[in-house]
């Protein structure tokens, strides 16, 4: 633990009784005295505050936004050029085989792109952008923290600090004044709930976090509940549900590729792996990420092999994320299965401690998304 990096909120986590664990090179709170189950439920019913300062924050700037957008489109299969000012979009870097190098969020801030990448990938992502984005400047932001306020009370809470927060719609981005700090705020998150992600100057992060925690609707939430919330929301965890060996089509992320960048679109291709991705878009992939509901009470976690029948036969896939869903009230999982077994309602079997137990392929998310439309 002594060799791990600390976020600007480290001392506050310790003060609040956070159980600190290693995560992506940082000491991060996995839970607080409230406990993972109650932290999960509090976020679903009120508002939870997460420290996500370990994530990478990057500015991509060219002589104008169009130059930066066109450059960024050489690395992602998303419509960057057509993104309106102060709007955000989900995306991912692809490799030459069509695999996903990382997933990310990017926003049009008028004269530059603001990009947020995963903590474990940020070094490689920044090097990738710096090496391949021509005619633009790629700058890692190292003097800001990143907070996430998530849950149905998030709007009410944040609007007490700046009323403009309530005017934002899902995936809007704005610069707000929160507790005296100039913050870059997006209405988005990783829980399936309404909420915000807040980039705040590092030296003002603790004061803002305390101001938010002073609100009776807000509790500090750790990585444990963050994982169960995103799993119920059907959201991928990079390095587990998607990786360099997973294409967007296999990962059920085709929706994130806008028509203008798809085969036949006005700006089709031009990103790594386009040929492979377009072929799978046309013909389908041999496997697919699906939602899975175990019929029993035992959670089935990452790595559990999946089979078509209760005995015999070849393995047809494996679970990539799984656990107990507090809101669902039972175990939930996601994983990859062959195309022939990916239809909703199909019963398959997971091998757990030498026994094959049934699961049903189901649609995701497992709980309804409550984003502010």
Distance CA 127, CA 229 (A): 31
pLDDT for position 2: 79
How sure is the predictor about 132, in pLDDT bands with cuts at 50, 70 and 90? very high
Give me the mean pLDDT over the 44-59 stretch: 98
- Mean residue pLDDT across the chain: 98
User: At residue 256, does pLDDT exceed 80?
Assistant: yes
pTM of the model: 0.97
B/e letters for 132-162, b = 16+ CB within 10 Å, e = fewer, are: ebeebebebbeebbbbbbbbbbbbebbeebb
The structure tokens 């610069």 sit at 175
Q: Which residues on adjacent β-strands are paired with residue 47?
A: 218
Q: Is the separation of the CB atoms in 119 and 55 below 8 Å?
A: yes
The structure tokens 């963050």 sit at 226
pLDDT for position 373: 83
Give me the mean pLDDT over the 24-50 stretch: 98
Which DSSP string corresponds to 150-182? ESTTHHHHHHTT-GGGGGPPTTBEEEEEETTEE
Distance CA 169, CA 87 (A): 10
Alpha carbon dihedral 80, 86, 88, 92, in 10-degree steps, equals: 40
Distance CA 191, CA 193 (A): 5
Tell me the pLDDT tens digit for each residue of 338-364.
Answer: 999 999 999 999 999 999 999 999 999
Tell me the pLDDT tens digit for each residue of 93-114.
Answer: 999 999 999 999 999 999 999 9
Distance CA 43, CA 191 (A): 8
User: At residue 1, does pLDDT exceed 80?
Assistant: no
Give me the mean pLDDT over the 130-137 stretch: 97
Structural domains of the chain in order of their starting residue, each with its CATH number: 10-46+149-164+176-232 (3.30.1360.120), 286-362 (2.40.30.110)
Q: What single-letter DSSP state applies at residue 16?
A: T
């Amino acid at each position: 633990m002594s060799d791990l990096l600390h976020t600007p909120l480290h001392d506050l986590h310790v003060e609040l009784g956070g159980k600190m664990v290693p995560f992506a090179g940082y000491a991060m709170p996995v839970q607080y005295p409230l406990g993972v189950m109650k932290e999960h439920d509090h976020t679903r019913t009120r508002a939870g505050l997460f420290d996500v300062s370990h994530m990478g924050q990057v500015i991509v700037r060219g002589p104008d936004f169009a130059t930066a957008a066109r450059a960024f489109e050489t690395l992602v299969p998303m419509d960057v050029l057509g993104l309106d000012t102060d709007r955000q979009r989900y995306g991912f870097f692809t490799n030459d085989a069509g695999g996903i190098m990382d997933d990310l969020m990017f926003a049009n801030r008028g004269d530059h792109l603001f990009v947020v990448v995963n903590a474990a990938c940020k070094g490689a992502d920044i090097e990738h952008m710096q090496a391949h984005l021509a005619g633009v400047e790629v700058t890692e932001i190292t003097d800001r923290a990143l907070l996430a306020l998530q849950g149905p009370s998030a709007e009410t809470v944040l609007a007490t600090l700046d009323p403009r927060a309530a005017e934002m719609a899902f995936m809007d981005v704005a610069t707000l004044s929160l507790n005296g700090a100039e913050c870059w705020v997006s209405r988005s998150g990783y829980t399936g709930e309404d909420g915000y992600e807040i980039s705040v100057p590092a030296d003002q992060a603790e004061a803002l976090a305390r101001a938010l925690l002073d609100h009776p609707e807000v509790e500090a939430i750790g990585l444990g509940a963050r994982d169960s919330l995103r799993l119920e929301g059907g959201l991928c965890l990079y390095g587990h549900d998607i990786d360099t060996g997973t294409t967007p089509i296999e990962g059920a992320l085709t929706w994130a590729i806008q028509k203008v960048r798809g085969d036949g679109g006005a700006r089709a291709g031009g990103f790594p792996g386009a040929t492979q991705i377009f072929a799978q878009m046309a013909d389908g992939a041999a496997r697919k990420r699906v939602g899975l509901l175990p019929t029993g009470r035992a959670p089935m976690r990452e790595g559990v092999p999946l089979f078509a029948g209760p005995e015999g036969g070849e393995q047809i896939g494996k679970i990539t994320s799984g656990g107990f869903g507090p809101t669902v009230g039972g175990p939930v999982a996601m994983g990859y299965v062959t195309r022939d077994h990916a239809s909703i309602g199909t019963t398959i079997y997971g091998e757990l401690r030498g026994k094959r137990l049934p699961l049903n392929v189901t649609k995701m998310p497992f709980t309804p998304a409550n984003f502010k439309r």
